[in-house]
Chains A and B, each alone.
Chain A
């Protein structure tokens, strides 16, 4: 390599590294402030950490806010939507990748075009639908409309991965007497486990992080709040005093589950997204 390209390589490294530091800085502050003693938060705002670390903010939040209840709601909500979407998307993607049938392209277009309808647009009619069936402020009301929202994305991503799967293996299974459902469950699904996991984790994280929709549907009943809504209500609730430490502690507790899942599943998630995008 020439001296000049060596120099440009190091320049690229320096720019990328400082950009990454800047981008991750807000998360460092989130972590740091949550451990700062409440009275020291504004003592030196520019520094994310203080010399003295404390758990006061965490104990404070856990004592005043029913976080465990919110956590449970978030968990049911996220798992309900993720498992539901996967159960819907798996057979649909299977049909779209291995079968030829009438109206296939039309139905695929119907699925993909549903992604172009912004969630916001469906808020009012879905809210009306739910109130008709008295499902506002309930868990099923929270989950059901979310099942349809990004379902097309899961179907598309799984289809992309199924299509690159060796068809011969499938045919062999079918000739050996496996029904098409058995082939899906015992052959296709296990072979595409990493893509399926990625879709599941993506929907799980995305649902866990939903805020506006749970606010609309559960905003009227505190026992139904999800973590995101609960933290927000805690933030807006004017109790006076400097509560930034507690707010950051509550935020940390909300963010931690998704961060941990992401760090554990990082490889599968990143690979599935990049492969799906390139194939698409």
Chain B
């Protein structure tokens, strides 16, 4: 398009003085860079330079005040990977991702599928209602749930347990219950956004396909398997990827406020460990090494998604 636009603009200028036109063409060539410069500078200064700085810090030994005191090469990485903590948080991260896939992929997509036969007004209502938790400050949300999870017999969840004749439980200090409890909060908070995306993906499926299949006598299950699921797959994959990337970020605030990664690292994960190593234990070298490992893992995930999308597209054709 811009080729034709440029040509038409050149033509209108045809009569202009030559050196003025030359200067103008130059300026026009530079225009997009002027538009981009402020945004790019901000992104480079506050995202990419910090990233480079993180690599630098990860190769040094020091503290929060003087993070690059002595160069130690890959010592931080070696210490981290051979240490006890790394294996534990890797396992806990994987376990948490499992909860996140259930709560932030399977549940919202299933709920979205249930809206297929509903009227637009109903869909609009559910979208708006389920999106509500996502607009409330996360630490406020955590305070509400802290009240539910109170370990005393007066706590709401313990009252429910009591109604079924069960003894009260200390949800957030129990090594088995802490992670599911934290996961419940984080997934409750972000689920509405994924529900919204799932609805958008379903709405993008052309109605004619569904009607044609229906006229041809396809059963509900056939319709789902042969038409809806294949056409929905890219959206589903997108939701899965943003869940895998965003899950540990989403559970960060509840961990910070409620468990600080405990009991016994049961609620710790790669992302929270970066924070706690850096700002609680002031081991910035280790924290930075963890950061780099996390980014490499994410990079791999995104590359994998890219390949998967590529393959999906070629299957379609």
State the A residues within 8 Å of B (CB). Answer: 5, 8-9, 12-13, 15-16, 19-20, 23-24, 26-27, 29-30, 33, 42, 45-46, 87-89, 91-92, 94-96, 98-101, 104, 107, 110-111, 114, 116-129, 144-145, 147-149, 151-152, 155, 167, 171, 174-175, 180, 205, 208-209, 211-212, 216, 227-228, 231-232, 235, 244, 247-248, 251, 254-255, 258-259, 261-262, 266, 270, 273-275, 277-278
Contact = CB atoms under 8 A, between A and B. Distances in A.
B128 A117 contact: no
A274 B298 CA distance: 25
Given A122-B51, A175-B8, A231-B143, 11 more contacts: A16-B114, A20-B126, A118-B271, A122-B54, A125-B50, A129-B49, A244-B147, A255-B140, A262-B132, A274-B196, A277-B235
A247 B135 contact: no
Nearest to A98: B2
A148 B47 contact: yes
Contacts of B28: 180
19 contacts: A8-B117, A15-B111, A16-B111, A45-B156, A87-B38, A91-B35, A91-B38, A118-B248, A118-B295, A120-B271, A124-B291, A125-B54, A171-B5, A180-B31, A212-B256, A258-B136, A266-B131, A273-B196, A278-B203
B168 interface: no
A209 B253 CA distance: 11
B117 A101 contact: no
A40 B134 CA distance: 30
A43 to B, nearest CB: 9
B128 A266 contact: yes
Contact of A99 (B2, B49, B114, B137): B2
Nearest to A209: B137
B140 A228 contact: yes
B253 A212 contact: yes
B33 A116 contact: no
Given A23-B188, A121-B54, A116 B12 contact: no
A260 to B, nearest CB: 10
Interface string B246-273: 0011001100110000000000000100
Interface size of B as a range: 35 or more
A122 B48 CA distance: 9
Given A16-B126, A171-B5, A274-B199, A129 B39 contact: no
A122 B32 contact: no
Contacts of A145: 46
A91 B36 CA distance: 7
A45 B295 contact: no
B281 interface: no
Contacts of B141: 26
A8 B220 contact: yes
A245 to B, nearest CB: 10
Most A-side CB within 10 Å, residue of B140, B192, B220? B140
B47 to A, nearest CB: 4
A121 B51 CA distance: 8
Nearest to B291: A121
A258 B132 CA distance: 10
Most A-side CB within 10 Å, residue of B32, B135, B154, B197? B135
Contacts of A23: 129-130, 133, 188, 191-192
Contact of B135 (A117, A235, A262): A262
B245 A116 contact: yes
